[in-house]
Amino acid sequence: MFLSSLIKNVDVERRSKTAIKNRSTSRHFYLVNGDGEKKRVCLKFFCSTFSISHRVVELTMRNIGLGSTYVGHDRRLGKCPVNKTTDENRDLVLEHINSFPTVEAHYCRKNSKKLYLSSDLNLSIMYRLYKEFCVEKDKAQVSEYVYRKLFNELSPQRSFFVPKKDQCFLCNAYQSKKIEERTVPIQEEWEQHKRMEKEALDSKAKDKQYSKDDGGKTFRSISFDLQAILSIPFSGESQIYYKRKLNVYNFTIFENHNNNGLCYVWDECGGSKGSSEIATCLVKYLINLPPTVKHVTTYSDTAGGQNRNKYLAAALLHTINNGPLQTIDVKYMESGHSYLEADSMHASIERARKKFIQPGNGLC
């Protein structure tokens, strides 16, 4: 409409020998100066000023109605793009994504509703399996770009990333604030938090060294933790990805005096991952210690549903009353800074599992 207000159709005043005979009108082009006055310009100057082509001028003037006003419309409206992904292909992609089993978050179930796919999966592997899926169903395939886009749009609650256990909410909140926003109460709270972290680390290091000096004869320092959920079967074979897998729990204990690690493994058919199962594994370890061991110090994180509760305390008290042990010190790391030696066992297990993700390497 703006362009049509600057172009005026007039009758042809004179014709040259090379002019088009059937043209009945001529066009005058105008530009408005700073004083609001219209100045006539040529077509080339007009197009260069607005950085448009002659075709834009022609399309504009073809849609001029009565009163020299623009009455045209965008003819692209209401038309389906040629490269649009069909609803059938979208449904097929969603069907394939939903065919993969998922598990809930391990450490942040209360704060997250996300569902996590197997740790050995990624979008490249999923797209490779999707192409095989389309061949079996004799359906057209979408590109990898479209598959990734639809995965993010249609499955916002799915993720491949394992939640980080040792992210400290208090430290992150403190570091995210500007220096001028760190008030005295916030500064004191964070300093107290860091002091407690240092005290816990110093205490663990002291007990660890004492246990090594003693050789584990009368005093032992241990750390324990429950590994993230392991799913079996575990393999790189394409059909295994679609199977509903069995959840396996691995409770690990690390002995500081000789760097020895123990694993207590059970599946979801035999129990869950609550305080009763943790207490059972810990008591089983304690009652099998040599009778010369009189003092044990344990270190763990502050997970209330597993390690820090009355059921674990009652189980340890029962062990004291019915065995040779005389003292059990239960110590917890500062929340968000639970650096435990038992976590290194989890990392070793996960690295070893990666050897089995290639097709033909069997099951794990």
CATH number at residue 117: 1.10.10
Please give the residue range of the domain that contains residue 303: 203-356
Q: Is 352 found in the same domain as 213?
A: yes
Q: Is 227 found in the same domain as 128?
A: no
Q: Is 245 found in the same domain as 136?
A: no
Q: Is 246 found in the same domain as 343?
A: yes
Q: Tokens in use for 174? A: 């403190």
Q: Which of 40, 68, 96 is the last residue of a domain?
A: 68
Domain count, the chain: 3
Q: Is 265 found in the same domain as 228?
A: yes
Q: Is 111 found in the same domain as 251?
A: no
Length of the chain: 364
Q: Is 322 found in the same domain as 212?
A: yes
Q: Tokens in use for 42? A: 């040529």
Whether 182 maps to a domain, the answer reads no
Whether 178 maps to a domain, the answer reads no
Q: Is 237 found in the same domain as 112?
A: no
The secondary structure of 166-233, three-state, reads CCCHHHHHHHHCCHHHCCHHHHHHHHHHHHHHHHHHHHHHHHHHHHHHHCCCCEEEEEEEECCCEEEC
Whether 318 maps to a domain, the answer reads yes
Q: What is the mean pLDDT of residues 94-113?
A: 69
pLDDT band with cut points at 50, 70 and 90 for residue 327: very high
Whether 170 maps to a domain, the answer reads no
Q: Is 348 found in the same domain as 239?
A: yes
Whether 364 maps to a domain, the answer reads no
Whether 362 maps to a domain, the answer reads no
CA 100 – CA 175 distance, rounded (Å):
38
pLDDT band with cut points at 50, 70 and 90 for residue 218: very high
Q: Which of 105, 138, 159 is the last residue of a domain?
A: 159
Whether 186 maps to a domain, the answer reads no
Q: Is 346 found in the same domain as 210?
A: yes
Single out the residue of 361, 339, 274, 268 nearest to residue 310, CA to CA.
Answer: 274
For residue range 122-179, what is the model confidence (pLDDT) as tens digits? Answer: 888 889 899 988 998 898 899 999 999 988 887 667 777 554 444 566 777 777 777 7
Q: Is 296 found in the same domain as 259?
A: yes
Single out the residue of 57, 60, 58 nearest to residue 68, CA to CA.
Answer: 60
Q: Which of 132, 159, 186 is the last residue of a domain?
A: 159
Instruction: Tell me the whole-structure pTM to 2 decimals.
Output: 0.56
Q: Is 95 found in the same domain as 61?
A: no
- Cα–Cα distance list, 258 to 150, 254, 262 (Å): 51, 9, 12
For residue range 20-32, what is the model confidence (pLDDT) as tens digits? Answer: 566 677 889 999 9
Whether 117 maps to a domain, the answer reads yes
CA 212 – CA 210 distance, rounded (Å):
5
